[in-house]
Amino acid sequence: MNPYLVFVIAALVAGYLLELVLALVGLRTLTPDIPAEFSDVLDAEEYGRSQEYIRATTRLSLVQETLVLPLTLIFILAGGFNSVDSLVRSAGLSSIPTGLLFTGLLALLYFFIQLPFSLYSTFILEERFGLNQTTPRTFILDLCKTLLLTVLLGGPLLAGVLWFFEYAGELAWLYSWLTIVLFALFVQLVAPVLILPLFNRFTPLADGELKEAIIRYARQQNFPIRGISTMDGSRRSSRANAFFTGLGRLRRIVLYDTLLAAMNTRETVAILAHEMGHFKKRHIRKMMLISWAQSGMMLYLLSFFLHNPGLSAAFSMQHVSTYAGLVFFAFLYSPISLILSLLGNSLSRRYEYEADRFAVSSSGLAESLITALKKLCRRNLANLTPHPLQVSIHYSHPPVLERIRAIRAYAAVKEN
């Protein structure tokens, strides 16, 4: 049996079993007892609803994984990739347009497999728990806009990568990596102006106590901002959030309207202080550099497998091609991706603690940050007691109870 095929099947099955174990241990950690820290913001009915939400989303994820795995295996073993390749080759186009069609059709197929689960999650599950605000019209428009952006932005990027690996020789991976890095910077630069407004409406924050408090805090921290905006996040969900967008002096503060409805001034400033901590501690820059390094490593490894006949044979391909090799390499890379995500999530959780400490030391709003975290968890039906294995593998943020304990401990040290 083809060793590449054995590896791919083993990786797919192992990934499914890992998710199954994570789901089961996660469900076992759910308890009807409200954590003492949250007894002031949650009653038994609210906490029970959050627990049921976690069970429902876990069950949906398991059903999805259980259906997608056999479909993927059948598609591989039945020569589905070769059938798609034969179809696009029949158009008689050159290799790069053929590669775009090949990956586009596979992406479209994956989209239609995932669509029923997305519809169920949005309009049935999220609706049932009072989280969904998305209308069918908004859902359809979002899909169309996402497809358009994928074609307009992702298409040329993929074409460039394919061209380099077709014609640039041994350094193709390096040229591709530099292109991807420049593309990422370009997207970050234009996103606040051209991309985000396609999906949401942004309006300047009204004059008043909150705006004055934010500007005062930003000035104290010598943190230049171009504007403070509110975003109509309530168009899609009742969840609350805030973030910074833009690069350099083009940075903007964006507040969800749901956040403004849930938080008082001190709590909102405390949340922004946490986000500012990520900038001040250069977490975003560091994570970006790490991401770029990982991309470079992936492309370098890709260069060794891209035209491998054995890898193509594992997927029953009649022809060896650059575009198919790129897709097949993704299957080989998945275990490495998992290991890197473990390291990345661990670093991200450490950065969250650092940002919390910055917020406490710079604003003095430790208790306001704690109450804000509690309100966010309550509003978002967050899991307050995730299993440690779930945290280590999937969580980019520490569990909220651990964050609260760390904030209180740090605040006590600062007072003494």
* 9 lies in the same domain as 128: yes
> b vs e for 276-313, b when ≥16 Cβ sit within 10 Å of the residue's Cβ?
bbbbbeebeeebeeeebebbbebbeebbebbebeebbe
Cα dihedral: 200, 201, 205, 206 (round 10) = -150
- Among 232, 262, 292, the domain-final residue is 262
The answer to whether 52 and 411 have CB atoms below 8 angstroms apart is no
Cα–Cα distance list, 356 to 339, 373, 398, 412 (Å): 26, 11, 11, 14
* 288 lies in the same domain as 217: no
* 225 lies in the same domain as 313: no
Q: What mean pLDDT do residues 103-123 have? A: 95
* 114 lies in the same domain as 231: no
* Cα–Cα distance for residue pair 406/355, rounded to 1 Å: 11
pLDDT band of 376, cuts 50, 70, 90: very high
* 253 lies in the same domain as 297: no
* 407 lies in the same domain as 288: yes
State yes or no: pLDDT of 227 exceeds 80.
no
Residue type, 308: N
* 230 lies in the same domain as 295: no
Active-site residue 275, yes or no? yes
* 16 lies in the same domain as 124: yes
* 315 lies in the same domain as 219: no
State yes or no: pLDDT of 27 exceeds 90.
yes
State yes or no: pLDDT of 303 exceeds 70.
yes
Task: Give domain status of residue 176, yes or no.
Answer: no
CATH of the domain at 208: 3.30.2010.10
Query: Which pLDDT does position 416 carry in this prediction?
Result: 66
Global pTM reads 0.91
- The percent of residues above 90 in pLDDT, for the chain, comes to 75
Q: At what angle do helices 172-190 and 283-305 cross, to 10 degrees?
A: 150
State yes or no: pLDDT of 223 exceeds 90.
no
Cα–Cα distance list, 95 to 167, 179, 351 (Å): 11, 20, 44
Task: Give domain status of residue 273, yes or no.
Answer: no
Task: Give domain status of residue 10, yes or no.
Answer: yes
CB atoms within 10 A of CB 45: 7
Query: Which pLDDT does position 249 carry in this prediction?
Result: 58
Going by their DSSP bridges, the two strands 252-256 and 227-231 should be labelled as parallel
* 104 lies in the same domain as 220: no
Q: For residue 227, what are the β-bridge partners?
A: 252
* 372 lies in the same domain as 284: yes
Task: Give domain status of residue 197, yes or no.
Answer: no
Domain residues for the domain of 112 are 3-132+280-415
The answer to whether 246 and 223 have CB atoms below 8 angstroms apart is no
Q: How many domains does the chain have?
A: 2
What is the tens place of the pLDDT at every residue in 159-212? 999 999 999 989 999 999 999 999 998 888 888 888 888 898 989 888 899 999
Catalytic pick from 126, 267, 275, 352?
275
* 122 lies in the same domain as 22: yes
Query: Which pLDDT does position 32 carry in this prediction?
Result: 87
Task: Give domain status of residue 272, yes or no.
Answer: no
* Cα–Cα distance for residue pair 95/108, rounded to 1 Å: 20
